[in-house]
Structure 1
Amino acid sequence: MPMNETINYIEFGSRHLAASKSFFEHAFGWRFTDYGADYTAFEGGGLQGGLFRSERASRAEQGGALLVLFSEDLEASLEKVSALGAQICRPIFPFPGGRRFHFVEPGGNELAIWSDKEPNP
């Protein structure tokens, strides 16, 4: 049961719905349920949500919300998303509390991954 007045669901626009779906499925293990040709719902990302076909996508530089995932191994996460077709738009950088990087998934949405762990030697 969702908690009152908490974020419960999120939707992303995607320029390439099938590419976004494949990316998130392979990168993070999200599971999808299709609702027609222009919408797919996901679960398994710590939050339920969906992807809808759109000519626009979310980018932080344009005022879009930035979704930030956590990783135990930031370098391994960067390698994985790069191998699956993500474009790294901000390489790993430090910030108060840890390190992170930003990437754009194949459907055009910018996300970030952060870690409070130091790089593995």
Structure 2
Amino acid sequence: MAAHGQDRQIDYIEFSVADIARAKAFYGRAFGWSFTDYGPDYCEFGDGRLSGGLTLGPARPGGPLVIIYADDLALAQRRVEEAGGRIVRPIFAFPGGRRFHFADPDGTELAVWSAAA
């Protein structure tokens, strides 16, 4: 994921895919993206400007998962809840940091991540 210092900015996008190898072949051939594997269920892509991930799983309603960076994850979660968002996946750890998922008032799922513990 991107460098720090971009508090409350879109930072990463994840696509849920049924077959990571097939998705890598498609996006690599169609757009020239590069890839870094992080196990059998996750692969990071780079397009030369933005990074994102390919994660094994069913397609998400609303399309790709947009991920926002926050310097203070707990504060970001409070702000989301106070603004009317609904937490759909509480804070969890992953390689590189922690994050949570939320639904906006229209039901669109997004995530917020932080490298801080």
The TM-score normalised by the length of structure 1 is 0.47
The TM-score normalised by the length of structure 2 is 0.49
